Structure 1
Amino acid sequence: MRVLTIMMILAVFAIIGCKSNSQKKSLSGTFTKQSKSEYSTASDTLIITPSTQSNNSYEIERRTGFQKIRNGELQAKEYKTEKWQSSWSEDKQVLSETEYGRQITPSIDGNSVTLKNTLYQKIK
């Protein structure tokens, strides 16, 4: 009876471990969005990778390329890159960055993430 109880406890821990690993895998990836207005065009990319510092820590790299439109003509393309650290909150199901309060929420299927009110689609 005691062996059966120990095996059941180990099975529960194994299931919990698999669940947290699958969540971590779905958070990683490259996500993109494109936008256009009468004043500019832009492409925005988020690259989310697990950090080597801890299990719940992620590195986020945001790459933005944009072109201003002045008098109906596209200007030269400009680029911005920023990097930050975030941590995964299992309770809230969100990646949080503390310096600026940015939060990234992954979709249930892992094919998209939301930063503020902006939806990014997974490309790889």
Structure 2
Amino acid sequence: MKALKFIIVISCLLLVIACNEKGDKSIAGVYVMSFKNEYSIATDTIVIEAYSIEAKSFQVERRDGFHRIREGNVLPKEFKREHWIATYNEEKQVLQESEFGKQIYINQDAGTLSFGATYRKIR
């Protein structure tokens, strides 16, 4: 009987802990942004994946797809892709890449990042 009470108490504690946990606060994920102006139509994607959890390093891939607009004509889509490794500074909430000085500002609560523009997290 004591064992059954103990199991029930432990189960209730685990249930309370699981219910009080907030959503995924990981910065890893896929972030997207799109825009259109008189010169181009673009969609950008930034994919952040854990590289080394101990070193707080992340692999960042930026994929850009864009159509140039010249004299009112939409030109064929062009693509660019970049890869780099960045270190996350939790205090400043920024991913920093040291070779080229790139910085990505993370807002985990809103699920967004800033890298010249605001990207929203889709997964």
Number of residues of Structure 1 aligned to a counterpart in Structure 2: 101
Task: Output the CA distance in 2 between the equivalents of 1:92 and 1:33.
Answer: 23
Higher helix share: 1
Instruction: Decide whether the 8 Å contact of 1:27 with 1:110 is kept in 2.
Output: no
Root-mean-square deviation over aligned CA pairs: 1.9
Q: In the alignment, which residue of structure 2 is the partner of 1:93?
A: 93
Secondary structure of 2:26's match?
helix
Deviation for aligned residue 1:53: 7.2
Deviations 1:55-113 (Å, cap 9, x if unpaired)?
40000000000001112111000000000000011232211101111111111415111
1:42 matched to 2:42: yes
1:80 matched to 2:80: yes
Task: Output the CA distance in 2 between the equivalents of 1:54 and 1:102.
Answer: 21
Q: What are the equivalent positions in structure 2 for 1:1-124 lying under 5 Å apart? A: 25-52=25-52, 54-109=54-109, 111-115=111-115, 117-124=116-123
Task: Output the CA distance in 1 between the equivalents of 2:121 and 2:70.
Answer: 31
In structure 2, the gaps of 5 or more residues are: 1-21
In structure 1, the gaps of 5 or more residues are: 1-21
TM-score (norm 2): 0.74
**The structure with more radius of gyration:** 2
Report the identity percentage. Answer: 39
